[in-house]
Every structure is written in structure tokens, then in C-alpha cells.
């Protein structure tokens, strides 16, 4: 996939952010991820035994380092080559340098696909959601935590709306769908933990948290 000028700028900003984080923190920790993959979505840790997991827009912290019980754990991100220089080369998970619009895996490959704080960063959300559907196994889970924006930004070009699930995943089973306030600017995980419910019918911004299941008889559309 050829990079647009928007993607080039966005990736420059993102890798600059992580380089600054690395300077401030020394080692980029990943202790907080386990809870979001398990307790937060009411998924027992044992569920991941012998599963194949992918984290879209994984970042360099090692988001799947906790999942030693998994058969395979993949972090997908177009910046992975740069992440390896920030310490990701020491991780046990596999980093794949690719865009979510063209996931380099076969149909029905993953048991679980996750996108935490990344789906609004992609260049083409329709292609990305199609690829998620294609590579997720029937019966597999898609876990999503994403900001809902009033308008796009240079680093978050997708202005996702509250009808995201019905627009792109109406053919999946909705296990949970929650909408929360984004009280702390730029702190998506803090907002997810706070779970402050939306107090008006159609707010322009907030946090969308969804657990979806690909139905067993799902047919990938060409």
C-alpha cells in the first residue's frame, strides 16, 4: 500500500511520540494491557489458550507480551521496523510491518483481533474493516476500543461515529457495545477504565467499546 502524504505525516508524528515516551520512561512497559484483553471484556485468561491473536496498531510496548498461553501473537503496525529500535526486538510477540488495509494473512486465520486506540488512525476504515472480517475465524472475537470524534485530525483521520458497528459490522453478532465519556483528553485507557456513561442521546464525542463475534456461517464478500 502506497503511503499518502497524510499517512507519512501521521507516522512521523506517531514515531516522534514514541521516541519521546522512550526517553521519558526508559523502558516502555506493557503491564496494563492484560486487563484490557481479559477482565475488561469479561474474557477469562484461559480463553486465550492455544489461540492466534492479532493487535492492530500495536505500538512498541509489547501489548501481547502477557499472552504466553497463546499459540501465536501478532502485532500489526506500519512502524514496527522503527519499534524494534525502541526495544520491541526483545519481545516474544511477532511484529508485522503492514497496514491494516492489507493484512498479510490468509482468510479465517485469527481467533481474536483487537484494535485499541488505533482504528481512527487508519487511512481507509472500510478496507480495514473488510480485512478484519476476512482474517478473523468464524466464531472469533473482534475487540474494539476507539474514540468517537466530532471531526478528523491529521493524526486521527477517521471521524468515527456512534453507528460504527451497524455501518461496518452489521453482519457480526454484538456481544457488548458501550458508550462512555472521554473526560480525560488524550487518555483513552483512563477513559475506558472510568466508564463514565454518556448522559445525552447524541453526543459528538466519546469512547466506543465493543466486543463482536464473527458468526459461524459468515461468508467473506469479495
In a domain, 165, yes or no: yes
Does some domain include residue 221? no
CATH number where 75 lies: 3.40.50.150
pTM for the model stands at 0.94
pLDDT tens across 161-207, in order? 999 999 999 999 999 999 999 988 888 999 999 999 998 777 889 99
For residue 220, tell me if it sits in a domain.
no
Paired strand residues for 136: 110
Flag whether 77 is in a domain. Answer: yes
Residue 219 lies in a domain: no
Range of the domain at 24: 5-213
Band (pLDDT 50/70/90 cuts) for residue 137 is very high
Is the separation of the CB atoms in 131 and 100 below 8 Å?
A: yes
Sheet containing 206-213: give its strands across: 94-96, 72-76, 52-56, 110-116, 136-148, 206-213, 173-180
CB 59 within 8 Å of CB 18: yes
Encode pLDDT of 108-119 as tens digits.
999 999 999 999
Q: Identify the pLDDT of residue 217.
A: 80
The whole-number pLDDT of residue 9 equals 85
Residue 143 phi/psi, 5-degree rounding, is: -105, 130
pLDDT, tens digit, 9 for 90 and up, residues 194-207: 999 998 777 889 99
| Residues paired with residue 180 on neighbouring β-strands, in sequence order | 197, 207
In a domain, 71, yes or no: yes
Domain count, the chain: 1
CA torsion, points 41, 47, 51, 55, in degrees to nearest 10?
Answer: 20
Amino acid at each position: 500500500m502506497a503511503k499518502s502524504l497524510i499517512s507519512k505525516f501521521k507516522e512521523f508524528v506517531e514515531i516522534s511520540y514514541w521516541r519521546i515516551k522512550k526517553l521519558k520512561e526508559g523502558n516502555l512497559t506493557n503491564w496494563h494491557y492484560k486487563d484490557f484483553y481479559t477482565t475488561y471484556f469479561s474474557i477469562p485468561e484461559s480463553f486465550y489458550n492455544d489461540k492466534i491473536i492479532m493487535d492492530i496498531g500495536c505500538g512498541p510496548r509489547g501489548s501481547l507480551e502477557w499472552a504466553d498461553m497463546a499459540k501465536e501473537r501478532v502485532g500489526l503496525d506500519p512502524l514496527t521496523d522503527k519499534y524494534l529500535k525502541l526495544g520491541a526486538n526483545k519481545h516474544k510477540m511477532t511484529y508485522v510491518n503492514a497496514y491494516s488495509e492489507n493484512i498479510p494473512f490468509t482468510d479465517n486465520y485469527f481467533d481474536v483481533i483487537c484494535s485499541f486506540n488505533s482504528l481512527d488512525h487508519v487511512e481507509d476504515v472500510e478496507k480495514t474493516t473488510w480485512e478484519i472480517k476476512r482474517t478473523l475465524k468464524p466464531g472469533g472475537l473482534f475487540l474494539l476500543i476507539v474514540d468517537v470524534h466530532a471531526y478528523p485530525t491529521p493524526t486521527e483521520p477517521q471521524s468515527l461515529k456512534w453507528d460504527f458497528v451497524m455501518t461496518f459490522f452489521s453482519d457480526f453478532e454484538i456481544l457488548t457495545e458501550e458508550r462512555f465519556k472521554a473526560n480525560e483528553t488524550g487518555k483513552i485507557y483512563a477513559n475506558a477504565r472510568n466508564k463514565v456513561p454518556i448522559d445525552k442521546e447524541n453526543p459528538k464525542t466519546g469512547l466506543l467499546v465493543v466486543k463482536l463475534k464473527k458468526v459461524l456461517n459468515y461468508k467473506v464478500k469479495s
